[in-house]
Structure 1
Amino acid sequence: MDGNWGLGLFQALLPLLRKGLNGLPQALEAVGRALLAQRAYLFRLEERQGIWYTSQLSEWAGPDTTPQLHNPALQNLPMREAGYGRWLNLFLQDRAVAGPVRSFPEEERPLLEAQNIQSLLVVPIWVEGRLWGFLGVDDCRREREFPAEEEAFLRAVAEVLALAMELWERTQGLGHLLEAAPLYLARLDKEGRLLYANPSLKRAFPQGVSLPVAEALSVPGRPRTFLSQEGQAVEWILLAVPGPGAEVLEVLALGVDVTEREQARARETRWNTFRRNLLRVYETLMAEGLSDSLFGLILEAALDTIPTAQAGSVTVLMEDGCYHFLAAQGYDLEALRQVCLRPEEPLSLTGHKEAQVFTWKDLERFNARLDETRRRVMEEAGRVREIKAILSVPVYLAGERKAFLYLDNFEQEDAFTPLDLELAQAFASQLGVLLRRMELESQIQHLAYHDPLTGLPNRLFFLEKLAQALKEGAEDLAVMCLDLDGLKLVNDLDGHAAGDEVLRVMAARFRAALRPRDLVARQGGDEFLVLLTNLRSPIEAMRVAERLLEVARLPCPVGERTYHLSTSIGIAMGEPGLSPGELLKRADLALYQAKGEGKNRLSFFEPQLQEELKREIGLLEALREDLEQGKGLHLAYQPIVDLSTGQRVALEALLRWRLAPPSVFIPLAERHRLMPELGRWVLRQACQDQALHGLKVHVNVSPQELLDPTYAFRVAEALEATSCPPANLVLEITESTLIPDERGRDASQALWALRELGVGIFLDDFGSGYSSLERLAELPVDGVKLGQAFTQRLGNPPDPQGPAARMVAAVLALAQALGLRAIAEGIEDEAVLAYLKHLGFPFGQGYLLGRPKPL
């Protein structure tokens, strides 16, 4: 132990060595300050009928720390039954209890947290081989561990304290006890005159004492007991001593000073009243929950427990930095609510750290500083007149004076006793517990009903407000579902931290764009909900939605990058009889339609949407099931013909499904990101079938597949698994695949990787997209397919001078110039076939040349 600890130990032990147990308060203060704690205390442990009880005997509490010495919960506490069996077991093993309260078992924490204890260190005290009690300190400001030297310091103090108690118990003999509890002895004659008085009686009653000898004379030989309260409480036993012939000789009187006993009895009666009143408060709390009215109940209970208090009030520190009245008895509370008590003003009675009594003289001095407005309000409420004394008690919450309990007397300035201050302090402690619980419940409720990222209400809060609005009238409200377009790109490019910041920005924008009475909530992910009420027409809802579309499109700077996003909005108008869930479902269907139409737009719910979605979901589930089980799907092959010889040179694999045509299920699969799985099945099946027909096989590839970085590997795996030569596989892509997506990705890398495999690549529906000649010349493309829209516009017979014929001729010339093979699709009659041959088209495809059939 270093010099600093040695000095601290000396300062803690010196009061005990000088004064014995009378030096305990000073010793506890030295212990608390040495260990940088806010409380130091001594508890007694007693075993009664097999149950260990503990009671707090002494305490030191530092500044801004609520004392607990008179906390009823810390008196006669059954250790094991109250959840502290672990402590008792450690004490019986002469071990300490130490560390942050948060690390303690759950059953131990409530009582400790109610005292604002963050960490504690407690060591047992043994006296003559018996567990006598424990000595401890509390840290109410921080969580910490206590090193070995701090425990050694506290144990050293405990050992000296144990020696002091052993010495006290050995020196207190019967004589000392008799001197400590004075006995009064007297002899009186039959008229009550004093014949003899011992020294103790003479010292206590120098003017003499009047005793009711008549009662003793009425029953000679039988003792009579009565209590006198003249200056002090004395319990007397009188005995009329009979002589020969039953004549009374004299009256003997024995008196015992029971002032302390009576005071203790009165004290216990007051504390019982406190407990009874407090129980009533908590019964109300359990029945009705937390509310401001509980402050009034605690004030009412305090006035009932402290009869000298004739009126009172409670103030609480609010967010504006002022104390405001929340409860009052004997005053006009509504008038007092207009008063703001600033903490720095002496007249606020908020500068003191412990319970304190202010007299009318203090009040006169403070009230003289009141401004005229507040003086008038306070006088109208009766708060400044006729008060002789105010008992003011601070209420602490996390070390801050959060509230004050004021108890007033109108008759005398010394109306309040030390016991009154203790009881008022106990009520103030309960106010602190109540404030802490209200704070925690408020935090819990906020967490339960709000999104932690954006601070917006969450889905649960939104549904409750929507249900309430529907009850008040469904005709003038609307619900919107919003989905951010482009947030996934932000997350993929710069991580979820950037995405979270974008969500916060968008949440603030949406909130600012709404009307004051409207509600916006975050449903989760990139989805938001909006509730509009008091609408005059759907047009008003549309205008609000357009504002939301507009603010979502604004550039969104985050860090060094600026993002450009948009939103899609589905709107459902309220209707009588709809539940909140049904209305949300309608808005979600409308959102689905808006996104399907191209995003960055709004859509109102229409009844047919529900049936369309139901059909679509049914088809989607069936398609997924067939794909997983490998049934219901097959390939049909349409021939590609050499127009000069009429011979088949290749087959195009076309996917067919049992429940819907390609024009229905292919867009369905694209919307629901199912094309990669379908494409994998088609590719594997087409490569297997190629060995059977021996011709080149053409397979259509979706943009979703080509934008997958692993697509070329999957093609290589399929070729290897089916032993299909790469030169016999031709992949057909659309021009839209060549356009970069929202992330800037395109199919260029995949095309070059496929070219390295030796796979052929054709550009399908050439002329219907947006590819440039420059880009076409750069890409590894082997050929182009003229879309059937061009061949169908040629006419029957074709007009060689018509625009359609000139366009077809231009496409062929371009393909020949670039060294690309050209295939004309959609050939359905002889005249068109003859014209295409005349132009010089090498290959053709269409119903005239062969319809799609299973292999």
Structure 2
Amino acid sequence: MSARKLPSHRSPHTLPEGFDLLEATHSLMVVCTDLEGRFTYANRAYLEYMGLPEPPLGSSALEQVAAEDLPRVLEAIRKVLAQPGQALWVELSKPLEGAWNRSRWEFVAICDPQGHPVGVQCAGYDISKEYRQARFLEASTHLLSLGLKGVLSAEALLQQALDAALAVVPAAQAGSATLRQPDGKFRFVAARGYDLTALREAYLSPQELLWRSRHIQARVFSQADLERFDAALDPERQALLWGPGRTGSIQAMLAIPVVVEGQPRAYLYLDHFDRAEAFDPLDLHHAEGLAHHVAWLLFGGELRKKAYLSRYADFQTGLPNTRSLREALEKLPPGPRALLALQCRSLERIQRLEGEAVWATVVRELGHSLQRRLRPTDRLAFKEGTFWLLLEGVQKAEEVYAVLGRLKGEVRVELEARWPQLDFSPRVGVVLAEPNQSPPELLQAAKVALEQSHHPDSISVFNPTLAARTREGDSLRQALSQALRRRRAESPPDGFALHYQPIKTLTDQRLHHFEALLRWTVPELGPIPPGKFLPLAEEEGWMPELGDWVVKVAAQQSARWGIPVAVNLSGSQLEPDLLHRVSVYLERYRLSPQQLIFEVTEQVILEESSLELLQSLVAGGHPLHLDDFGSGLSSLERLTRLPLAAVKLDRGFVANLGLTPHRETPEARLLRALRGLGSSLGVDLIVEGIETPEQLEFLLAEGFALGQGFLLGRPAIYSEAEVQQLRGGSDRA
């Protein structure tokens, strides 16, 4: 029987002669049958979906319908033939090897010119992915609802997670789950299709062959992989895995790690016994989604505690930080109180001479000693070498003096015997709270008072004279707040712009990349130095918003020029959603990760909580540079832990050389040693602050390759032509 052609409504000027729309489509499936259900037409999309080499003309179309769907198909045909012109939708499965193949079909009668039915037309499309997604949402929601009730043990939760995984991965025919134990070994705690009692006698170790990759994403292992793994095991575990574990029958194993802080803490295993290519990318995606839920349900308390400490505790000492103090102040009702800022020079000396570990221990013990002597209503915080004490109910400076005298005497007795190098004679700044004084204003006032206290055991109390010195900061804070508040979604904040300073190869003056530098101009105040407005933005919590705008614009400009651009990241920007926002900008501007460089300061890399996120940025392909090395608390240990692409030497190194450097000065020898260090670590060195030809010649002679400074180019807004000129080299900007 020949295929029946459907009526054509083609317009000669829109479709070429011989063009068959139904044959051209790859998404809409079309089938026609006669009244006996025999094929009269089937388009290419249907043949590909069903795996048929050619139209089965004359054969029964009902043979291609799954047995469980046949009654509904026959009922649909009966109805459309009884009422020509009426369409009816039916959802069907596909009777093939793959599970969960679903499609939706519209049935309608084909009529002759007199309106009598002569056949049936069926038009359909594949909804398999949508169906599987719905199953995933259903199973994951059920798993979350069970876990959030908080009544399941870790083993019980993994059993539920295994059931959920088997429910959302159609190719899985059996499965098991392991949980890392205190000894570091993974032991079986759940199984479906296996003898769990027997499997509990086996264990898996991260050091063994299958686990050497320490994979933290879902992976499919083949029969050969499993055989190679089992061959390295002791005979007892081989017998368990090949007997109750049925390893010899598994053709494909989907292994899904439950990852917490970059380390697997549990595994789900889904097994298929028939085909090596049983699992598809959607299976891996759904399985990883379930694993994320399990990680949060199993280890959420641990993660929340670490997140709390990361937010409210000093990363080196564990003492409460100023964020915790500021938020506590925001919750307190108005009333008399005093805020004290204390700095102890002997702590700075301990840090410099005895190292970070000893310094952190002394600071921690000093903080605990102070806390024990405060009242329950008082509070302590520590940040960047400064202790903060909030004393409730204090109205006069004399009361503060009395408290300080008692604290200093008792702390000295307790601690100076243990650490003779500690001389607890702090310089102190004090502010007595005024009505309607905001927490940031209170902290700033104590800081201003501390700056006026220059000697050990000296106390400076904030007063109107000191207040005059804070007016500029208040004006900037207000202007910055207004600029950010008036900002619209895609527009820059008022007065802000990015300037770009070139980093060049020193030998030929060619442009290597740009550094994006944030500039701010206030109409009433003029250009504001970054050193003034950036700390304000950080202090007020505005830096993530401002920094996000900088990253977006830098990515856009890098894509436009085809030149890598470096962006500075502050500590407050290093939140988990940074990775997502960066990926959005890369996709939006079609930019490769290598084109967007991130710079961080020494202070940022000293924060333990930032290391994992920085490592994730590098893993995503972004070069990471350490900015202003040598200007702060340099940590050579951090240089080895972070995968840095380059280290930028602070401008102070070149400034100390003088305008006409000499090779044998201590400053020159120090730079030479740093070049050797960079070479040993395998990182590029970028020398900042190059201002004279003599400095450039010295650096070239010493073998430095990259540099930045006014001699090579000032920060500016560059045109396309100027960028191309910089690319060419030789001419200095």
TM > 0.5: no
Please give the TM-score of this superposition, normalised by the length of structure 1.
0.34
Which of 1 and 2 has higher RCO (CA within 8 Å, sep 6+)? 2
Please give the TM-score of this superposition, normalised by the length of structure 2.
0.40
